[in-house]
Structure 1
């Protein structure tokens, strides 16, 4: 893709996000779009947002669970960026009117104590750089109609970013068995799904290592103090105004999100 085409894709994604409207796949308009170019688009969108005053606060992983991969028809995990504009405080309502078709998914999140840079990062090394572990919700959104996309589309779209919230409860990583960490997702008055941390690439630390190694290929690293969302444990639930979605973790505690206009 020529540079002007990349610029056009960036402008289209930003237009949809700001206008709260979805549309067709970028890969339909530009059939030659590949994953490497999609990451260039993702980074260029981030540059525009940082230029507009946003601050990078972390990294998110997407499509790390088999449940999400099956639903979305994509079988490769991917990374995206978190900025301060996406952050919600615990208990702060989710402004669904600012999003297109938000969905909530429970995640295990890390707050980093040290810098983590690839290549060659292992799960063990990744965990040594973690300061604390948190229950989290990511409120995903998509600039594509019906959440329908190919892999380059969702990469360019920053892995369907929207909003996110971390539990105020910070748990030290030592002694946690995150692969066995149980999570129950409640929505609509009942249990919507259950899972363990093993749903995320076998262990959330594997997702953290994958993010560090993938960013290294782009000349980037995970910085101290950053938040890392390791990916959904279950399929996502639609979040509407007035709706409440809650997650109960075995060791990390409980967290809920409420939609508001």
Structure 2
């Protein structure tokens, strides 16, 4: 367990790493006593700092939602991060790859909430009732830790390695699709580089959203109407190169694009 002063120092180091695009060594090496509670508190310190400068919470993302990723990190549950207004990117406006340290993209089925979710005890039925629509999404992830050399505390403190997100225009009611069987593929410059199905996320992305609602409730946070929830990727993360143009295509859910400049 770290002291409050050390947590503030770590949060500041991560903020500078993001601002200057100069990643720092793994936190587990520089602060061997760090634990998951420390990591979430460090994440929240930086979120509060950004909110104080005018950003707003637009939603949350779930990470480590596949069994393989959890095994790699040595944990038995996912983690989460915040989606802020200053992280929203557009499929109509290219993003500078140089704005990030080690950018990657992931394809996700985004949930748009039409009502607040309960916290403790939130069920999959609650999620379905509160979801206004699902949408095609790409999450832009990045690591402020050198060479993506991360374990659980490194990524949690670093806002679950989140950096940006974009939703495509299509909106489909949750009752109009089998949310466990949405096929998606990712094209880079017209060539398929990854594919997956929505049940790669804890067997059902709805399960991930319900977990998230229960988890954030322990920090006094509610998933609110209007929020976007990204439940986890349907495939492995794909590295971004300057000049790349990505398109994620979903069966029954349309598509979304994200392109990068130098």
TM class by smaller structure: over 0.9
* SS in structure 2 of the partner of residue 225 of structure 1: coil
Post-superposition offset of 1:65 = 2.3
Corresponding residue of 1:260? 261
Post-superposition offset of 1:5 = 0.4
Q: Distance in 2 between matches of 1:100 and 1:38?
A: 20
Corresponding residue of 1:209? 210
Corresponding residue of 2:224? 223
Q: Distance in 1 between matches of 2:248 and 2:190?
A: 12
Corresponding residue of 1:144? 145
Corresponding residue of 1:158? 159
Alignment of 1:172-211 (within 5 A): 172-187=173-188, 189-211=190-212
* SS in structure 2 of the partner of residue 133 of structure 1: strand
For structure 1, the residue ranges without an aligned partner over 5 or more in a row are none
Q: Distance in 1 between matches of 2:74 and 2:193?
A: 21
Alignment of 1:107-122 (within 5 A): 107-122=108-123
Identify if the C-alpha distance between structure 1 residues 74 and 93 changes in structure 2 by more than 3 Å, giving closer, same or farther: farther
Preserved CA contact (<8 Å) 2:246 2:257: yes
Preserved CA contact (<8 Å) 1:60 1:229: yes
Post-superposition offset of 1:52 = 1.3
Preserved CA contact (<8 Å) 1:104 1:237: yes
Q: Tell which deviates more after alignment, 86-95 or 148-157.
A: 86-95
Preserved CA contact (<8 Å) 1:67 1:235: no
Identify if the C-alpha distance between structure 1 residues 252 and 71 changes in structure 2 by more than 3 Å, giving closer, same or farther: farther
Corresponding residue of 1:6? 7
For structure 2, the residue ranges without an aligned partner over 5 or more in a row are none
How far does the alpha carbon of each residue in 1:128-185 deviate from its partner, in whole angstroms, 9 at most, with x for none? 1101110000010000111111101110100101111001111111221010111112
* SS in structure 1 of the partner of residue 112 of structure 2: strand
What is the root-mean-square deviation in Å for CA atoms of aligned residues? Answer: 1.5
Identify if the C-alpha distance between structure 1 residues 154 and 125 changes in structure 2 by more than 3 Å, giving closer, same or farther: same
Corresponding residue of 2:127? 126
Corresponding residue of 2:170? 169
**So what's the TM-score if we normalise by structure 2?**
0.95
Corresponding residue of 2:104? 103
**Aligned residue pairs, count:** 261
Preserved CA contact (<8 Å) 1:65 1:234: no
Post-superposition offset of 1:92 = 2.1
Q: Tell which deviates more after alignment, 94-103 or 66-75.
A: 66-75
Q: Distance in 1 between matches of 2:42 and 2:24?
A: 17
Q: Distance in 2 between matches of 1:189 and 1:220?
A: 40
Q: Distance in 2 between matches of 1:37 and 1:219?
A: 16
Post-superposition offset of 1:75 = 5.4
